[in-house]
Each structure stands twice: as C-alpha cells, then as structure tokens.
Amino acid sequence: MLVTADALAETALTGAPAAVSPPGPTPCLVMDLAVVRARYAELRAALPGARVYYAVKANPRAEVLGALADAGCGFDVASPGEIEGALAAGGRAERLCYANPVRTPADVAAAAGHGVSLFVTDSGEDLEVLADGAPGASVLVRLAVDDTGSATPFGGKFGCSPARAVSLLLQAASSGLDPAGLSFHVGSQQSRPAAWADAIAVAASVAADAGLAVRILDVGGGFPVPYRTPVPPVAEFGAAIEAAVRRHFPGRRAPELAVEPGRLLVAEAGVLHASAVRVSVRDDGRRWVYLDVGRYGGLAETEGEAIGYRLATDHDGPGVELAPAVLAGPTCDGDDVLYREVALPAALRSGDAVRLLAAGAYTASYASVGFNGLPPLAVRCVDSVGPGS
Ligand SMILES: Cc1ncc(COP(=O)(O)O)c(C=O)c1O
C-alpha cells in the first residue's frame, strides 16, 4: 500500500503548538503552556458558569499545574501526592476535588489535613472512611453511566447505580457529611455530546428520588481531542450539557456545574519528540520502525491502539511517498508494539526524527521509572506566547 503525503496534509494538525522546535536528546515531551491556557479559556467560554477541576493525572508537570492555577483553575486530585503537587503549584485547597473514591483512611486524613473538603464517593465503605477522617466534608456521589463512544472507558471500575446513589446520599446526610451532589464520568475521549445529556437525565432522576437538592453536578472529564480524526468543538459539548441541565433540572433547582477535564487541556499542548532507533524489513516482509519511546516510555494509551497519535517526520511534504510500517517501542518486551500498520515516509531511516503530536496527556505520567534501564520520559515546558500576552 502506498499513500501520498497529500493524505496526511489533509488531516494536518491545525493549531499545532510552537513546541516543535528540536528539543535536544530524544525522547522528550515538549509542552507549550500557551496551548494549555488557550484550551482552558475555550472550556471556560463553553461552560461559563462551571467550576473547572483539571485532572492532574493527565499531566502533573509543575509548570502545567502552575499555568492553570494562575488562570484560576481548580484541580481534580487522586492521591495525597497529587494534592501536594497542586498546592505547591499555587492551587488552593478550596479549589481541589478529591475525585478518586479508592483511598485509605490515611489518604483521607492527609487530604483533610491539607484543607480539602470536597470528595467524590461511590461506596458505603468509602463514606464511613470520609465520615471518620473528614467530618462535615462535602461529597458528590458518582454514578455509573453509559460510556459508549469512549476510546478508553473505565470498564465498570467506578460509580454506582441510581438506586445505590440515592442511599449513599442519604447515608452521607445521616453520617454528618454534606451530600452536595452527584458526579459521573462518561469515559475518556468521549465523542458523543449525547453521552453527557443522557447521564444528566439519570442524575436528575436520582436527585428527585433522594428528595435532596443537588447543589453541585460534576459532569466529569472525557472531552475529546482530535488525534487522527476530527471531534466536535468543546462548545458543542458545553451546549449539550447546558441544554440537558435546563431540561432535566428546570427552574430554581438548577445545580452548579463542575467539570474535571484532563486530556482536553493538555493533549494538544504536547509534542513527543522521538527518533527511529532502527528501520528494517523483517522476515515477515514488513517494515518495522522501532522508536526510542514506546508503551513503557509513556505511550500506554496505544494499548489496543485505543489512542492513535498523529505522526510527523522531517520527510513530510507535498507528494512524499509513504509506505506502511509496524511502529514499535525500544524495549525487549513483545507487547511494546504501538501500531500494527501506519503510513510513514518510505525514505525514513534509522536515526531520523519522528514526532507524536497531541501527546501531552497521559504520557509522561504513565512512563515507567526504568524498564530495561531506560529513564522516565523527559519533559520540557515552553511558552510560545508568554503568560501576560
Ligand atoms: C475521576 C476522573 N475525572 C476526570 C478524569 C479526566 O478525564 P479526561 O482526561 O478524559 O478528561 C479522569 C480520568 O481518568 C478521572 O478518572
């Protein structure tokens, strides 16, 4: 199969960050903080009244957290370590939401000690721990919702049924906690605005059944980014969410909205600069391109080819000849294969640069600490605009 670069040009990343300048040794993830700020501003415009809690797990780099904190963003944290990172970067305790319901009494005590007072929960056991370690704290009960359309769904790990949510809200109230509202997550890289609308309908029915006012409705993260295929703009998701809230929470009962975006704010800010360690045609007749970064160097989301990063090389250009390749990582592990077939320039050679675009989310935070003696993924932050501009 031969395809031309015109096909690639058609889908060229628009608004690519300035962070494509050569970063020195590879692999290296270069993050453009100006893009992070721009995505945050777009989200604020799409959902003007919503609290925004950036999901730190997506990219916990201090400069990223600092840029968002300076812009007034809150943080979705999943452990005491993430709480400390968010606070050190300028986040405020009252703008943190501890959204991981899997935690120990020591984790809850540490969070409360830091002044965190908003927790997401999905079990009676966790509520007991919260009532003990963070008395009086506000809780959001996480619903399990339909995640059809998500590229990386949660597989049933979190959330509870509507009936259980009602009893958890009542349990929270009777154990001295503040049953502030409900939350859900429609699965990451979720392409269907209707996924949020459907989940909001479920949340409204739970609120009615519990007979409690939902003060906060946390509609989670999941907002998609254009990897190899276009996705609707964030404004479309915002409009679907606001319309569903108006429809299902009519009148004065409308809750305050919260969102927990991860991928949306940081993916397109990152370019992962890599190099081809080896390009060779193997006995299977296929061209194998081995990069110096792979599944264990931060590309965990290529498992099952769930996330398809767009690739760029110095050979790209009008009319360049492309040929199929298997793209693999550098380690001695057989699972370290990223894509079974991608189109790359036929002229690509060992040592050439390969860039993975929109790679700022769930890469550095997933990189192993030293598998095969390889160091964790290096990260460099740049600011193509400057915070004041
Ligand atoms: C509780 C919670 N909130 C928010 C997010 C961020 O999701 P996304 O990156 O899809 O926006 C995640 C991701 O795993 C999560 O677990």
Ordered per-residue pLDDT tens for the chain, 389 residues: 333 233 333 333 333 443 455 568 999 999 999 999 999 999 999 999 999 999 999 999 999 999 999 999 999 999 999 999 999 999 999 999 999 999 999 999 999 999 999 999 999 999 999 999 999 999 999 999 999 999 999 888 999 999 999 999 999 999 999 999 999 999 999 999 999 999 999 999 999 998 888 999 999 999 999 999 999 999 999 999 999 999 999 876 789 999 999 999 999 999 999 999 999 999 999 999 999 999 999 999 999 999 999 999 999 999 999 999 999 999 999 999 999 999 999 999 999 999 999 999 999 999 999 999 999 999 999 999 876 44
Q: What residues are annotated to the active site? A: 332
Inter-residue contact 216 to 180 (CB < 8 Å): yes
Cβ–Cβ contacts within 10 Å for residue 272, how many?
Answer: 27
In CATH terms, the superfamily for domain 60-261 is Alanine racemase (3.20.20.10)
Report residues whose beta carbon is within 6 angstroms of any ligand 1 atom: 55, 57-58, 76, 99, 185, 188, 220-223, 260-264
Number of residues in the chain: 389
Residue among 105, 98, 94 nearest 72 (CA)? 94
Nearest to 226 by CA among 264, 271, 197, 188: 264
CATH 2.40.37.10 fits 268-382, yes or no: yes
Ligand 1 atom with least separation from CA of 260: 4
- Six token digits for residue 199: 């989940």
Whose tokens are 């404004």? That residue is: 235
Same fold, 60-261 and 268-382: no
Candidates 189, 230, 263, 264; CA nearest to 13 is: 230
Rounded distance from Cα 147 to ligand 1 centre (Å) = 13
With the most atoms of ligand 1 within 8 angstroms of its CB, the residue from 54, 260, 265, 362 to mutate is 260
* Top mutation candidate among 185, 219, 223, 237 for ligand 1, by most atoms within 8 Å of CB: 185
Amino acid identity, position 299: L
Token representation of residue 170: 């009542």
Q: Look-up: residue for tokens 């540490």?
A: 110
Return the number of other C-beta atoms located less than 10 Å from residue 380's C-beta.
14
Domain ranges of the chain: 60-261, 268-382
